[in-house]
Chain A
Amino acid sequence: GAVVSQHPSRVICKSGTSVKIECRSLDFQATTMFWYRQFPKKSLMLMATSNEGSKATYEQGVEKDKFLINHASLTLSTLTVTSAHPEDSSFYICSANPLAGGYNEQFFGPGTRLTVL
């Protein structure tokens, strides 16, 4: 099956720093990737849709300037948490849709656990 990787898998940073999380589709190309956020013992909440070559579409309530998304190639999307604060601590998961394969294919990355001290 298709593989999506995320890097780093775990990051701890000080309050006020920026953190970049990478999401890569390893064996397929994806024009669309999605970023989700999961708080402990909670569900996954869609943050934004990342489109290759264009601006990301953010869900209501998600700060665009806080969570910067760049989808520079068909295999890479990055999420940058700017000026991170403890309330940004969460589990971030990306998913990718292959170019081919229809609308029902969605492959998830393993997630990145962010802890802001």
Chain B
Amino acid sequence: AQKVTQAQTEISVVEKEDVTLDCVYETRDTTYYLFWYKQPPSGELVFLIRRNSFDEQNEISGRYSWNFQKSTSSFNFTITASQVVDSAVYFCALSEAWATNAGKSTFGDGTTLTVKP
């Protein structure tokens, strides 16, 4: 069975601080996909990044960066110079890759990030 753990339930930072959201996953599959989503108060999931299990390159997109460490089954997300608009619930998710279950995702419990001005 797959499992995603986001140990940080809530994080509060002051604007311009850097913040890292942790994600640890468990799977027996050798091929899988990892995702991060942002969920603002409106409820709609906003896709942030997708990473496949064979690509351990870290990625940077503006103020966002992701560190994928297969050896520790972690896929952490860092926001640099946080802003109030970053306040939201962030979900890490793991998706099966095989055809019969493609796209079927297991979500972590989410981390509520509050950025104070």
Verify that A and B bind, or say they do not.
yes
A: residues with CB less than 8 A from B are 32, 34, 36, 41-46, 49, 91, 93, 95, 97, 102-108, 110-111, 113
B: residues with CB less than 8 A from A are 33, 35, 37, 42-45, 47, 50, 52, 91, 95-99, 101-110, 112
Q: Chain B residues with Cβ under 8 A from A32's Cβ?
A: 102-103
Name the one of B50, B52, B104, B109 contacting A49, with C-beta atoms under 8 angstroms: B104
Can you name 6 A-B pairs with beta carbons within 8 Å?
A: A43-B91, A49-B101, A91-B43, A97-B102, A102-B102, A103-B98
Q: Cα distance A12–B96 when bound, in Å?
A: 34
Given contacts A103-B103, A113-B43, contact A43 B33 (CB under 8 A): no
B50 to A, closest residue via Cβ: A104
CB distance from B67 to the nearest CB of A (A): 19
Name the one of A42, A46, A91 contacting B105, with C-beta atoms under 8 angstroms: A46
Task: Judge whether A110 and B44 touch: CB under 8 Å.
Answer: yes
Q: Cα distance A34–B42 when bound, in Å?
A: 20
CB distance from B102 to the nearest CB of A (A): 4
Given contacts A44-B91, A49-B104, A104-B33, contact A93 B45 (CB under 8 A): yes
Task: Judge whether B105 and A110 touch: CB under 8 Å.
Answer: no
Output the residue of B35, B45, B91 with the most chain A CB within 10 A. Answer: B45
Output the residue of B35, B43, B103, B109 with the most chain A CB within 10 A. Answer: B103
CB distance from A90 to the nearest CB of B (A): 11
Q: Cα distance A106–B93 when bound, in Å?
A: 12
Task: Judge whether A103 and B33 touch: CB under 8 Å.
Answer: yes
Q: Cα distance A34–B100 when bound, in Å?
A: 12
Task: Judge whether B44 and A103 touch: CB under 8 Å.
Answer: no
A111 to B, closest residue via Cβ: B43
Q: Cα distance A93–B46 when bound, in Å?
A: 13
Task: Judge whether B103 and A108 touch: CB under 8 Å.
Answer: no
